[in-house]
Amino acid sequence: MNLIVEMTDKLGMDYYYVRMYCEGERLMMETPDPRMKELNRCMSMRDLEKLHWQVNGNVRRLVFVYKEEGYSIVDVGAEFERVIVSKLMAQSLV
């Protein structure tokens, strides 16, 4: 599914539009269009750290750290919860 990811690293914070999906025990992020700002990651779900829900009013974000980069999934919808979060729960990560 396509969604917006906020990523923070040692250079600062930026937003990316990515295609996110699970492949086995890996969480995949790919830039769907080569004309867009690129963010391509293949993350082992076991290596995700500080995974938690951040709630601000009626808005929930899934937040985690992977290899010293902070990620916040901004656009959390029903499909995301059904597919991605259920996979993370199966891994006992959320």
User: How confident is the model over 37-50, as pLDDT tens digits?
Assistant: 999 999 999 899 99
Q: Which CATH architecture has domain 2-90?
A: Roll (2.30)
Confidence of residue 76 (pLDDT cuts 50, 70, 90): low
User: At residue 82, does pLDDT exceed 90?
Assistant: no
Q: Produce one character per residue of 36-68: b if its CB has 16 or more CB atoms within 10 Å, e if not.
A: eeebebebebeebeebeeeeeeeeebbebebee
1-20 per-position pLDDT tens digit: 888 999 999 999 999 999 99
Output the pLDDT for position 11: 94
Percent of the chain predicted with pLDDT > 70: 94
